[in-house]
């Protein structure tokens, strides 16, 4: 228990969750930019269609953007002719315009492929082409599924449960959705986001589903669960 106390003193749930989510967010932005470049050039990275095409990739520029998770550095691809105009992050844009929660939602269980496509259209706006949406979805989905289903440690000393509300469009109406993130600290003191789940309403059955998913991925015990009186969570954690 002394180790648990030391780790709890060193870990603030909101700050640590945001730091981990910031890395996930930044990596996804870079994947979206890569897909935009593929669309701009007309061929995939290292594709043979690029031979003698008159334009090609030309390394990266690095820029720091500010989101709700803090400052994040991203690599922005550039083309040799200097014609590439990023869409998800304009050239001089340094703030994310609140798209981070929509991007995080794509990694949340509860999102269908159609939901992910709709999220991408919300991020890019009405003028986005179906081709670009499909390219981004095809690039992101394998990583999303791998991340969602990766095996976890069997025991976590501390697990933090946290939620972030964002607005989304559904059936031509703006509604509130919440992405719930779970951060675990394992026996070696390593911190990791165990998963994200999307819900319009929290409740006992919702949390039971999350705990069931954690068990299926290998979690057998949690020493300390930290949450802000989330309805139904305490009962779900104690179910064997």
> Against a cut of 0.75, is the pTM above it?
yes
Count of C-beta atoms within a 10 Å radius of residue 214: 20
**pLDDT tens-digit profile of 182-235?**
999 998 888 899 999 987 666 778 888 888 999 999 999 988 888 777 777 777
Q: Verify that 143 and 165 share a domain, yes or no.
A: no
User: In which domain, by residue range, is 65 found?
Assistant: 15-148
How many structural domains does the chain have? 2
Given 96, 119, 148, the domain boundary residue is 148
Strand partners, 70: 67
**pLDDT tens-digit profile of 105-162?**
899 988 888 889 988 998 998 788 999 999 999 999 999 999 999 999 999 988 988 8
Q: Verify that 117 and 95 share a domain, yes or no.
A: yes
| Edge-to-edge strand ranges of the sheet holding 191-199 | 191-199, 173-186, 155-170, 221-226
**pLDDT tens-digit profile of 219-228?**
999 888 887 7
Q: Verify that 40 and 117 share a domain, yes or no.
A: yes
Q: Verify that 55 and 128 share a domain, yes or no.
A: yes
Given 107, 125, 148, the domain boundary residue is 148
CB within 8 A of 123, min separation 6: which ones?
A: 88, 99, 102, 103
Q: Verify that 65 and 141 share a domain, yes or no.
A: yes
Q: Verify that 25 and 120 share a domain, yes or no.
A: yes
Q: Verify that 48 and 133 share a domain, yes or no.
A: yes
């Amino acid at each position: 228990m002394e180790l648990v106390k030391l780790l709890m003193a060193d870990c603030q749930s909101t700050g640590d969750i945001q730091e981990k989510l910031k890395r996930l967010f930044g990596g996804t932005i870079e994947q979206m930019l890569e897909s935009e470049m593929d669309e701009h050039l007309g061929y995939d990275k290292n594709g043979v269609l690029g031979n003698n095409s008159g334009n090609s990739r030309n390394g990266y520029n690095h820029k720091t953007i500010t989101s709700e998770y803090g400052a994040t550095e991203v690599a922005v691809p550039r083309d040799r002719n200097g014609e590439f105009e990023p869409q998800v992050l304009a050239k001089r844009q340094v703030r994310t315009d609140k798209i981070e929660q929509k991007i995080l939602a794509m990694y949340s269980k509860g999102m269908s492929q159609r939901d992910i496509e709709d999220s991408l259209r919300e991020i890019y706006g009405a003028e986005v082409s179906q081709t670009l949406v499909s390219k981004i979805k095809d690039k992101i989905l394998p990583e999303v599924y791998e991340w969602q289903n990766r095996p976890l440690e069997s025991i976590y000393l501390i697990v933090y449960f946290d939620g972030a509300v964002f607005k989304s469009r559904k059936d031509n109406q703006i509604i509130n959705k919440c992405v719930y993130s779970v951060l675990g600290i394992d026996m070696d003191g390593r911190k990791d986001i165990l998963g994200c789940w999307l819900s319009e309403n929290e409740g006992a059955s919702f949390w039971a589903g999350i705990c069931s998913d954690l068990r299926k991925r290998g979690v057998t015990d949690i020493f300390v669960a930290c949450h802000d009186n989330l309805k139904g969570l305490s009962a779900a954690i104690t179910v064997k």
